[in-house]
Each structure stands twice: as structure tokens, then as C-alpha cells.
Structure 1
Amino acid sequence: MMILHGAAIGTVNGSAAEVQKILYQQNHHMLIAQALTMKLLHKMVADAKIGPAPNISYVYPKTCKPEDILAMQNFSAIRNWLYLDMAVYGRYNTVAWNFMEKTGITPTIEAGDMEALKDAKPDFIAFNYYATATVADGSAIFEDDESGDQQISIGMKGFYAGSKNEHLQKTQFGWEVDPEGFRITLREIYDRYHLPLIVTENGLGAYDEVNENGEIIDDYRIEYLQKHIMQAKLAIDDGVELLGYCPWSAIDLISTHQGFVKRYGFIYVNRTEDDLKDMKRLKKKSFYWYKKVIASNGEDLTNNK
């Protein structure tokens, strides 16, 4: 759950302002549906547990300049707290609402909407994490760019400008890799909302290849997951109540932005973007590694290369 760039996901057409207004209106309806669902489940099953599941990325300022700090706060509100403040507190985040007002994209709020949103009481927060984001002062942006994807920040004039983080490595698809940022994100969410957390997605998309022996040796995926699980353990030591961790994903599937060439799974599917081939399933090296991780309840993270 988050507002993606309209051009990137191909759901709406029009000017940037028109696209954003439609997306934020759709998001308002989605948040109401989420609130009503949480309330209904609690009514139907007294001891049921339910919560939101947005994509969350901690946001760094590019430098310690006050303008960059403000940009970080702006993007954090738009990128993260808009969705969680609504789910937990039943209200729009102040900075995010100010952004929508200044850009003319506030959603139409009907009678009863806010009352419905305030009635939802989540039992936990689930979230997807892939990487952090870094932003700088947005006053220098001349044209807004809506061609990014969920992990690549572009910018919004007057609010923030997406920036690279020279301290982080990148995946083959340009996403920054930040295991320590995972710990930071866990701590930030837990400190803001004081609800148990569940990680619903965390993984590495890559160009996996089958070698001459019919194997997929994806040590890079194992290393990525090793580091993130270790940081999750440290977050628990910090006092974060983490109920569960779910890697993404069990099997190769279609990526929102890069199609089938970007593989996430522990299990390889023998097909290409345009050719289904025989759809044979092949267990990658990471499959056997994660099987061991599960059996040891996360204690054994070693990789025998």
C-alpha cells in the first residue's frame, strides 16, 4: 500500500497533477476499506489479529543542511506516515495533508469517512522493506518526474528531491541495499506506533541464471538475506517487538516494474518474459539455505559456498 508513480504502473493517464489527484482519491477509498475490514473482522472474530501492510522506507537527509532535513521530513510523511498514521490513529498526517493541499490533490472526503477511519484498531503493523531512501532540498527541481518506481525517489518541486546514497551498494536493478537501514526502519516504526511488527516482504531481485549443471547459485541473495536477518535480530535486542519475518519470495513471479527478468524467488521458474517454455521449477541454492534457516529458527545463517 502506497502511492506509486502513475506512469510507472500504467494505471492512469493525464497530467502529473491529474494523475496524483486520482491516485490520492483512490488511496483515500482504500484506507476506508482497510479500516472497515479491520473493524468487521474484530466484530466477527473476537480474538482475531489484523493490521495494515504498507511498503515502508526510512528516509535519510542528503546532508545535515536544514533544507535537506525538511525534505526528509516531507518525504517521510508522504512516503510512510500518511498510511500508518491513518491506519493507527484514523487521521491524515499533518505534513502529508499540507503537501496535498499545496499541490491541489486533496481527496474528496464524504460524510462518515473520517468516523469510519477512526474506528479501526490494528493489532500489529505489517510492512514490506527493501531499502531506505535519501532526499535533498526540493527547491531546485524544475520539473516533476513521475517515471520512478517504489524504491527510486525522483522528487516533487518544493518538497523533496530524490538523491543517491554514496554509502550504499546497489542491486542490478538500481535499488540501494541497506541492511542497517532495516534495523533503523524497524526501530522507527515501533517507536512511533508501539504496535508489534511483522515483515511481510524483504528480498533481492536479480538476473538469476542456470549454470551448466542445472544449478542456480544465488549466493548474492543469501548474503542479502543474511545481513537483513542479522539486523532484525539486533532490532529485537533494541526492544522492537517483531512477531514475524517473511522473505520475498518463495517462487519467481512477475515484478511490477521489470517483469519476469527480475527474479526474487527461492525457486526458479523456467520461462522468459515472452516464452513460457516448460515452466519447470528448479530449487536455487538459497532454497536449501533458507530451509536450514527455518529449521534453526534463524540461528544458523551460515552459507557453505
Structure 2
Amino acid sequence: MKKEDFLWGSATAAYQCEGAWNEGGKGESNWDAFVHDPDKNPKGITGDVANDFYHRYKEDIELLAKGNQNTFRFSLSWSRIIPSSNWQINPQGVAFYRSVLEECRKHGIAANVTLLHYDIPQWIEAEGGYLNDQFPAYFARYAGMVFDLFGDSIPYYVTINEITHNANCAYLQGKYPPNHHSVQELCHVGYNLVIAHARAVAEFRKRKLNSKIGIVHTTNTVQTLLDTEEYRIARHRGDLFKNLWVTDPAILGHFPEDLPGLLEEAGIDLSFVKAEDLKLLSENTIDFLGQNCYTRTLVKPYVSGETNYYRDYEGKGEVLERLVVKNWFESDYDFSLPRDEWGREIYHKTVYDMLKGIQKRYGDIPVFITENGCALYDEVDENGEIRDDKRIDFMKNVFHWMLKAREEGCNVIGYYAWSNVDVYSWINGYKKRYGLVYVDFDHDLKRIPKKSWFWYRDFIAHSDRD
């Protein structure tokens, strides 16, 4: 596989890496406000500094290049570009991102840039955030400004990262700002985000750029342990909840046909749906799909409980990831498979199942694996090294299945490890590490490439020779 035929890289996100939360003319984001509120963030762990990418981006991009990576996925901070409700552009923020893009170009690294990765300006949050029906218009205006500022200097644009996960954590589990728990609001927010995405694509198309535009979805291939009628119904409804309400509109231009009826049966008020929005969806589909792929979703028929999402943020191995959607499905478990310290099933073949499923439903659409990784408690040993062999084993297995799918005709065109260096892992803080490069958060944020970084470097070099 020639290097130019496939993009090998790693990824990060603005709030998780940049730091400099109140520097360079940046405005306050919803995450800044959340982490600085002791009632909502009692541990007091913030992304105020994170790994300080804002000041150390040249070092981090040089590490990408030395690691043979030819692409870098990162996000823009909306509040760094447009700090306040007057919609005035912050020249310092624009200059920073232009410098990042120039550093990528200097090293032959293709930029894959996300417009929204969880953080929005706090002034928008104060107006109702994603729940405000003006949000799609706000996002389209912001997106248009970004397209005008950066144009074709960004080859790959992503509108929104992980609509499903962001909405679930913010409006179902209530662990992300604004910390709500409402199934009605969850559905309304999800709709607004899908429409916001389509409006941004429309702005992109108006400018007739040579770049490509897509969306990043957190894929969860939905599977069952049994194949009965009841389990097949649970699997389909799991697929609707986890995937299809985002990917069908983005790729096919419409919501799944049976979704509105099922939502109304569940008591959801769909009065927020507008005919003009549905027309917009049909006219603004994507060029590529980004898939954040970590594990599958195993479901069984619903038994009991209210709709909710359960995760282990402490990393003690005491809570299994669990999702309940009342009268639709609930999580099932295969206890023959290993789990990480945060209760997540380790199932490498999910990347193959996911790619084959996309091929079957959506045909030949280009797909990036925009995130994939392994969370560990990494530590520096007596030799000053980080021997993260579990991460290497994880990547070996994932690559086997990903490349098998590619050989079988799946149009996967790139892979991004999560993450390029250790980052702030949202409310998990800093102990949950995904990076290929270790960050010593206690000693001047020193960067130390892990064993996995060297392995990935050599893997890419070998793939280029084949």
C-alpha cells in the first residue's frame, strides 16, 4: 500500500489539548464555564492548560512527522475564533490556526479539521446551547466564516464530532454541560445538531471549494448474542438509536423511515421537525464519513428501567458500560471477552464489522477511521520509557481487521489513532491516557514517545513499502 494511497495519522481536539483558555483573545466556552463551577466539577480538574498545544504545537507536529504520519486531525475552538456574541473575528485565534496549518504543510501533513468537537461559546450555551432552535443558524454562520478564512488550505473539513455521544453525555447522562437529563431534550438536541451539520454543508457548497467535507460519527456496530425475532427488533432499534439517525441524513439525505413513528410511540413531541429542514437534508450530503471506532454495542430486548446511559469515569473496573432505552433495548454482555479498566469491552473485530456494514448500507462512500485507541494507566519505568504493549497489541489487531475490510472492497482511506499525545480526557481528567506520546503533567509537560509511537512509526514505514 503506497503512502499516498492511505492517510496514517493521529487526532486530538481543541479543549482537550490547547490550554491557553483565556489567552490570545479567546472567549469563554461552555467547557470553561463548566469546569470552573465547583458544583458541577467538584474534582476541580480542568483543561485550562491541558497539554499546552497552544504553545507547543510545533513540537507536537514535528513528532507526527518523525513518526511517519502524513495526516493530523484536530478541531478549532469556536470561542477562539469568535469570542463573543458580536460575531467579531479574533485575529489572534485565526493567526494561531494558520500557524498550525502552515506547520502541517511544512511537514507534508494533511490537515483534517473539525469545526465543533464538544466546545461551543458560553454565550451560546447561555441562550440554550444546542437546544436553542437558533443553534443551526449560529453554527452555519460560524462555519461559513471558517470556510472564508481558511478555504482550501484545509483539505478535509468535518462539521461536527460525535453528535450521538455529545448529546447522550450532555442531555441523557447529564455529565457534560449543560448537565441535563431529559429524553425529550435529547431528541430535540440531536435533531438540531443534524440540521446544523446540513446547514454547514450548504455553506460549504456555496463556496465551491476544492476541499472535501464530512461528519464524524461515533460508530457502535450493534450486535446481539441471539438471533430471534425479539433480538432482531432490539438490534434494529439499537442501530436507530446509536447510528442511523445521524448517518442516514448525512449520507442518504433523510432520516430512517420508521424513526418518527417509533419516537412518537415513545411519547416524544416532534413538533420541532420542520419541512424546510428535511429538504435541506436531502440537498446537502457529505463527501466522506469519519468513524470513531472503539467497540461494539451489544444489545438484548428491553427488560426494565428508564432510559439512561451509564459509564465508569473513575476507571476502577467496577462499572460496565450500559445503555437502556425504555421499551427499545438494553445492553447485553459477552463475559468471555476482556474489558478495560473503564468497563469497556475490547472487541477488535468491530472495525471490520463496522466497515462491512457501511459498505452494505451506503455503498462506496469514503471512510476515515477518525478515532481509534486504547485507554491505559501509562507510567514511566525506571529507564524513562513507557512500555504500553497492550496498546500495541490493540493496534495490531485493529489494523488486521481494518485492512482485511479494505482488501474486501471497503473504501477506508485513512486511520487516526486517538490520540497523538496524552490529553485532557473530559471528566476522566488526565489519568485515562490514550496518547502515542506520554505527557508528564507534573514536570513541565515533557513529551516522551511511548513504545506504541515507535511501533506505529515502523508500521507506517513498512506499509509504504508494500
Question: TM-score scaled by structure 1?
Answer: 0.88
Superposition deviation, residue 149 in structure 1: 7.4
Q: Which residue number corresponds to residue 260 of structure 2? A: 97
Measured against aligned partners, the alpha-carbon deviations of 1:170-215 in whole angstroms (never above 9, x if no partner) come to: 1121111111121011110122112111110001011111111111
Deviations 1:122-150, CA, capped at 9 Å, x for gaps: 11211100001111110x21333333379
- Does structure 2 conserve the Cα–Cα contact (< 8 Å) formed by 1:72 and 1:135? yes
Q: Secondary structure at the match of 1:143?
A: coil
- Report the Cα offset of residue 46 of structure 1: 4.6
Residue type at the aligned position of 1:226? K
C-alpha distance in 2, partners of 1:106/1:53? 27
Picking from 40, 60, 70, the partner of 2:233 is 70
SS at match of 1:50: strand
Q: Give unmatched runs, 5+ long, in structure 1.
A: 301-305
Residue 380 of structure 2 is matched in structure 1 by 210
Equivalent residue letter for 1:28: Y
Q: Which amino acid is 2:456 matched to? A: Y
Which residue of the partner structure matches residue 41 of structure 1? 204
SS at match of 1:177: coil
Mapping for residues 125-140 of structure 1, pairs under 5 Å: 125-138=289-302, 140=303
Match of 2:82 in 1: none
Question: Could you give the per-residue CA deviations for residues 6-60 of structure 1, whole angstroms, max 9, x where no partner exists?
Answer: 335333455x5xx222222222122112112222223313533211211011111
Alpha-carbon distance in 2 for matches of 1:62, 1:257: 32
- Structure 2 contact 309–322 (Cα < 8 Å) conserved: no
Aligned-pair RMSD on alpha carbons?
A: 2.2
| Aligned partner (choices 250, 275, 280) of residue 116 of structure 1 | 280
The one-letter amino acid of 1:289's match is W
2:269 & 2:218 partners in 1: Cα distance? 21
**AA paired with 1:152?**
E
In structure 2, the residue matched to 1:175 is 344
Q: Partner residue of 2:224?
A: 61
Contact 2:378 2:386 in 1 (8 A): yes
Task: Tell me the equivalent position of 2:354.
Answer: 185
Paired residues of 1:97 and 1:106 also in contact (CA < 8 A): no
Report the secondary structure of 1:268's partner residue.
strand
Summarize the Cα distance change of 1:42–1:149 in structure 2 as closer, same or farther, 3 Å threshold.
farther
Counterpart in the other structure of 1:282: 448
Q: Helix, strand or coil for the counterpart of 1:289? A: helix
The structure that is strand-richer by fraction is 2
In structure 2, the CA distance between the partners of 1:291 and 1:13, relative to structure 1 (3 Å rule), is closer
Q: CA deviation at 1:66?
A: 2.0
What is the SS of the residue equivalent to 2:391? helix
In 2, the alpha carbon distance for the partners of 1:298 and 1:135 equals 39
Instruction: State whether residues 312 and 343 of structure 2, in contact with CA within 8 Å, keep that contact through their aligned partners in structure 1.
Output: no
1:237 CA drift (Å): 1.6
8 Å CA contact 2:310, 2:322 repeated in 1: no
CA distance in 2, matches of 1:93, 1:84: 9
Structure 2: which amino acid aligns with 1:37?
A
TM-score (norm 2): 0.59
Q: Which blocks of at least 5 consecutive residues in structure 2 are unaligned?
A: 1-161, 314-319
Q: Is the 8 A contact 1:9 1:256 kept in 2?
A: no
Q: 1 CA distance for matches of 2:386 and 2:173?
A: 34
Deviates more, 1:144-153 or 1:191-200: 144-153
